[in-house]
Chain A
């Protein structure tokens, strides 16, 4: 769906000569002083499968916003290749790029980016309007989309009349309205307070079930990354330091940096029962859980009975989970 190959973004004069050269590995300050260049993103490679939620996580200045903007060339990459659904974005002409932006990819922005002079309906219909869809059709579609994100009948409001959470729902609706296959999220919830953020994350989980989209999601919030991501890429100084499932990232951090990052994550929140189950045995069982369930969510079931719990995948028993397994995970958290 999205393929990124050897992608670089270097700011400053004669950026091309820095790409892949030894100078690129100079410390930030030295490179800046000597050549006037800043490497925002270096040698990024990634593949996002159809329907996957790929989260890019990193602190501010790590290059994650640059990366997501390079996908549709809102920022022009210095070198490398971006392929979206088989189209080479990096080689696309201006006209082709417009088509990709209008039909295939849409984006949700950090500070919502609603257009203050337009009603909600016209905001949501914006992408359709750019495509040249006629007024009635696009407004009808926009109204449906507003309903989908939980703001039915509010089409005539102006953005400033809405709370932050509602505004971002509109931002979401605007991105959904063009029915793209790929959605890009640039820290969409970082401006919201924690409760609303949680609510919006649930909204994404729900939408994912209802409308199957490929999503690339930028965040600096680890718990958000763990909740939403099928896979997570950790970014630092413009490069990926680790790419893996939430479990992998937490349990097998690639280096010190990632380890520090995930240190406070309770293991039971990310470890699936599969990882600590014993081989299948003959009953009796206190109950059953689906394979892939996080340990945290199996605790209650295991704790309430002396009997083990059956782990089921596709209707077949693949293992058993008892107190020892659960406690081993929880005990590890204390270390």
Chain B
């Protein structure tokens, strides 16, 4: 098991190269022919292609309403799960409320003290206290309760799955496909099916959060276990450990850091989603944010949003568990608190506050401590309307940018995609797929796109709009947003990958950006760009640029030193070294970074429906509000999003992997 020579590389011979060249020529001819043909056939998606999926889904929903008490799947599975989830959230909420705010803050501090020392305790407690100051404490506790239940479930499912994946390559492969798909699916997509399955109260929101937060738990458990050095497992085996002994005494302890990192990411993912899951009617802080965004009440949205962000910061700090290296010297002298002491303090403190709260009849959060920042923010907003949106010399303000983007970029691109016969688009994308990786990908792309064509149409724009047309609208937004993001992020990332100074300057921004949940970006965007498709694109760019910078810089920095040094020793200038060595070697990593950026852009384009970007996102999201009429449309919209996502993901992923190794498969 130490050495694996099971798969052996083969040489690429001349014949293969010649064959490849011929294949290339055939490909060009085939695709040109197909494109010409595609111009001849109907320009619109023909109506006979409608598979009736919308009606089918709507019927499922009606059936689920009628049979919720009688059908076996509900009685024995979905209903008990729904009840259990609701029970858990309600109890978690009532415990948090019983603790009152001093108790919650104290528990946060105790956990932080244990995991990350005094610093984490202070930051965690301050952030948690800040939630009460800025936002509605009761609503925040409901958000926290939903979060905690979802995170717990994600771990209970994710860690064992990760362990299984680490044991078996085959299981890992299957799981990876599932997780990849789950992760490229923008959130709204889950909502409608979850509503069918778990109709009531918190359950669908919890499940949506779990689905979204599960992947990092699985991935990082798997990764941590697989990164345990071979020699450690060999040692365990050579001294005669059973499989379980090996797992519990060697592998899991050695993977601990990775698993804890997974916990941290699970929490961050859960935060990204918990606000959006509020669309399913949780009545928590998230719903407050969404309602306010839709009504462009920027101040209220900002206050509630800040509450969620502070909650995220608090949990992030106390679960990161990493003691920063540049800690104050003084703090080094403070002993790390043993688990028992921290636990005793936490439990004791909790009991004490619960009793005190009863005796003195404390409020949930003292009103004299709260600050209503909404009016102030609204004041800024009004100012910005007159001084940033317009009235800026030369560029004219953000409104002008927004108008320009809509009129001269988004509209023409969308109209072009609409003008093209739909099969030409299919063939064109398939061609891109073929160029990127080969026939198989071309086929995948074709299947995805044709399936979008079978999704039917929905009422809109005074007649009926096909989901194909909506998908083209979404696609145009995605393309514009990704191009803008890459144009901004790539130079910065390359710079940060070469200059320590630039990296140090950018780092704080990138770190903060990583913690902020997606929806947070919608607030400043509304602030600056009002609502509409340009605002949506702006939100995507703001959201996608930091990770793109980070991944590019990382790719640049991961290039090994020896070849770079060799280039310099031969007298390459810095620029030459970058052009001939570092950039080519970092190319794949950077392209994979762009792939991830694209997925983020797509996810945000869908969410941007909340700020008036319309298109597929709107279809998926409206269904959650009126499932009894629009659920079928929502499912069709959601499926279209998924298909679009898979198509875009596969193509860009292919850029990051070498065509030589993958063509053959």
Residues of A within 8 A of B (CB): 11-12, 32-33, 36, 38, 40, 65-66, 69, 72, 74-75, 97-103, 105-107, 109-113, 115-118, 126-127, 129-131, 174, 178, 184
Contacts and interface: CB of A to CB of B under 8 A. Distances in A.
Given A113-B234, A113-B235, A130 B2 contact: no
Contacts of A106: 238-239
Contacts of A115: 232, 235, 250, 253-254
Interface stretch (B3-11, B133-141, B522-530): B3-11
Contacts of B325: none
Q: Closest 3 CB pairs between A and B?
A: A101-B240, A102-B240, A113-B235
Contact of A117 (B5, B229, B238, B256): B256
A111 B8 contact: no
Interface string B203-236: 0000000000000000000000000010110111
B91 interface: no
B174 interface: no
A100 B249 CA distance: 20
Interface residues of B, number: 25
Given A99-B240, A106-B239, 17 more contacts: A12-B5, A38-B5, A38-B8, A65-B2, A69-B2, A98-B241, A106-B238, A107-B238, A109-B235, A110-B231, A111-B229, A113-B235, A115-B232, A126-B239, A130-B236, A130-B239, A174-B239
B5 A130 contact: no
A36 B10 CA distance: 10
A131 B240 contact: yes
B231 A109 contact: yes
B3 A129 contact: no
Contact of B10 (A11, A33, A99): A33
A130 B5 CA distance: 31
Contacts of A107: 235, 238-239
A292 to B, nearest CB: 34
Contacts of A11: 3, 5-6
A110 to B, nearest CB: 8
B142 to A, nearest CB: 38
Contacts of A98: 240-242
A109 B234 contact: yes
Nearest to A68: B238
> Of residues A33, A38, A75, A117, which shows the largest number of chain B Cβ atoms within 10 Å of its Cβ?
A117
B250 to A, nearest CB: 6
18 contacts: A11-B3, A11-B5, A11-B6, A66-B3, A97-B240, A98-B240, A98-B241, A102-B239, A106-B239, A109-B234, A110-B231, A112-B231, A113-B234, A118-B253, A129-B249, A130-B236, A130-B241, A174-B239
Contacts of A126: 235, 239, 249
Contact of A75 (B3, B8, B240): B3
Contacts of B514: none
A38 B254 CA distance: 33
A130 B231 CA distance: 17
Contacts of B250: 115
Contacts of A112: 231
Interface in B226-279: 229, 231-232, 234-242, 245, 249-250, 253-254, 256
A32 B8 CA distance: 8
Interface in B431-479: none
Contact of B245 (A12, A130, A184): A130
Contact of A72 (B238, B254, B256): B238
A113 B3 contact: no
Contacts of B254: 115-117
Contacts of B236: 130
B1 interface: yes
Interface in B394-408: none
Contacts of B229: 111, 113
A39 to B, nearest CB: 10
Contact of B234 (A32, A33, A74, A118): A74
B6 A12 contact: yes
Nearest to B250: A115
Contacts of B10: 33
A107 B231 CA distance: 11
A100 B229 CA distance: 24
Contacts of B235: 107, 109, 113, 115, 126
A102 B237 CA distance: 9
B332 to A, nearest CB: 17
A199 B236 CA distance: 27
B6 A178 contact: no
B239 A127 contact: yes
B446 to A, nearest CB: 34
Contacts of A117: 253-254, 256
Contacts of B3: 11, 40, 65-66, 75
B240 A130 contact: yes
Contact of B1 (A65, A75, A101, A109): A75
A250 B10 CA distance: 40
A111 B231 contact: yes
A11 B7 CA distance: 10
Contacts of A69: 2, 234
A223 to B, nearest CB: 25
Contacts of B239: 101-102, 106-107, 126-127, 130, 174, 178
A117 B249 CA distance: 10
Nearest to A184: B238
B405 to A, nearest CB: 53
A139 to B, nearest CB: 15
A174 B236 CA distance: 12
B57 to A, nearest CB: 47
Contacts of A99: 240
> Of residues A105, A109, A115, which shows the largest number of chain B Cβ atoms within 10 Å of its Cβ?
A115
A100 B232 CA distance: 19
Nearest to B239: A127
> Of residues B231, B235, B254, which shows the largest number of chain A Cβ atoms within 10 Å of its Cβ?
B235
B576 to A, nearest CB: 37
Nearest to A117: B253
Interface in B1-34: 1-3, 5-6, 8, 10
A151 B145 CA distance: 51
Nearest to A128: B239
Contacts of A97: 240
B237 to A, nearest CB: 6
Nearest to B237: A74
A99 B239 CA distance: 9
A235 to B, nearest CB: 15
Contacts of B6: 11-12
Contacts of A111: 229, 231
Nearest to A36: B8
A172 to B, nearest CB: 13
A97 B250 CA distance: 19
Nearest to B5: A11
A74 B238 contact: yes
B54 to A, nearest CB: 50
B8 A12 contact: yes
B52 to A, nearest CB: 48
A115 B232 CA distance: 7
Contact of B238 (A32, A101, A110, A131): A101
A117 to B, nearest CB: 4
Contacts of A103: 240
Contacts of A101: 237-240
A65 B240 CA distance: 19
A109 B2 CA distance: 13
> Of residues B229, B238, B242, B253, which shows the largest number of chain A Cβ atoms within 10 Å of its Cβ?
B238
A243 B512 CA distance: 65
